[in-house]
Every structure is written in C-alpha cells, then in structure tokens.
Amino acid sequence: MTKKEARKVFKEMRLSLTVGDRNRFDDLILIHFQQLQLPDLFYVHTYLAMKEQREIETDHLLHYLEFRNPELKIVIPRMDHTTSELLHIEYDELVDVMKNEWGIHEPVNGNLVDEQLIDLVFVPLLAFDEDGYRVGYGKGFYDKFLAKCRPDVLKVGLSYFEPIPRISDRAQFDIPLNYCVTPQRVYEFG
C-alpha cells in the first residue's frame, strides 16, 4: 500500500469510529502503554491531537508518565513555515495555544527546548507497517525533527488499527518507530 492510499483508507476508518469505540480503544492503549519498560524520562514531546481528525489524544498517557516521572517536562510542537521544521516549546499553564491555518493547535509563546534534550516522542500517524514505518500527513515535519533528536530517543506511535504489511513507497529519510501501541498490543521495532 502506498502512503497516499494508506492516508485515504485510514483517515476514513478513523472517522468512522464511534465515541464509544474510541473511548474503549483509548483505555486499551493506556493499559498496553503502561506495560512498556521505559527509562526515567525528563522531556516528552507530544503532538496536540486534532479532534476533528479523531487523532488519538495523549493526555491520559502523559498523566501516567507524569505520575512515574514527577520532574517530567512536556514539550509541544510549533511549525516554522519558513524552514518547514518544528520548533519545540515547553508546555505549561502559561503557554497559549491557538489553531494554525491547517487546523493544528500549536503554542504561540513559551520557552524553546532543544531536540537533544527530548527522551520520548509521541509521533502522530495515520497508519504504520510491520517494520515500524509510519504514514503521517505528508509534510515531512516529523521526519526532519526525529533526524535531529538523539539516537536513543524513543519514538512511539499510537494507532487504533493494526499495521499494514509494508508501506511500498518509503523514502530514505523516513525514520521508523521504536514502538506502536494499539488497542490489541504493543509492537516493538528494531
């Protein structure tokens, strides 16, 4: 399946889920995520879910991580349209968030965080394959970002659906996940 085909199929599948399905799947994803043997974490980068796209919300996972790591700092992205790269902002009660022109919530203020400090990244995706490669929204922001992170950064995807066998048009700059958590199980890669 190509990335374009996967985007279409999995967007439609995600939009067809009921609120009850999503709530049940979110609970199962949290249960499976809690089984991961994670190191101590200091900086976790997360996307802000697009509700109208029915992206998986990370709030419940972040609460769990904050409980395990009391000093945890949450980092959220802001797009830099001049460079087509992400900036990384420490998220706290003083940070204001607004929708950008693509309908993505992002911070309008806050302190920048260097990519090298980040320990774990929740990577947004529409689909993933059995080798840990993902289909995003096609702009390449996250692949550029992940290439700048430390080699040991944990890359975690969240999906309501199981993997496809293989994304047929992977690019050399695509970076695979370490884990993808679904309602059925945790997939570990590499």
Whether residue 52 is annotated as binding a ligand: the answer is no
For the chain, first and last CA: distance in Å? Answer: 21
List of domains in the chain: 3-188 (3.40.50.10420)
Whether residue 147 is annotated as binding a ligand: the answer is no
Q: What is the DSSP string of 90-137?
A: EE-TT--EEE-TTS-EEESS--B--GGG--EEEE--SEEBTTS-EE--
Predicted confidence at residue 81, as pLDDT, reads: 81
Predicted confidence at residue 102, as pLDDT, reads: 80
pTM: 0.95
Predicted confidence at residue 52, as pLDDT, reads: 86
Whether residue 141 is annotated as binding a ligand: the answer is yes
Instruction: Judge whether 107 and 83 are in contact, CB under 8 Å.
Output: no
Spans in the chain with pLDDT lower than 50: none
Instruction: Give the helix/strand (H/E) hosting 89.
Output: strand 85-91
Whether residue 55 is annotated as binding a ligand: the answer is yes
Whether residue 139 is annotated as binding a ligand: the answer is yes
Whether residue 170 is annotated as binding a ligand: the answer is no
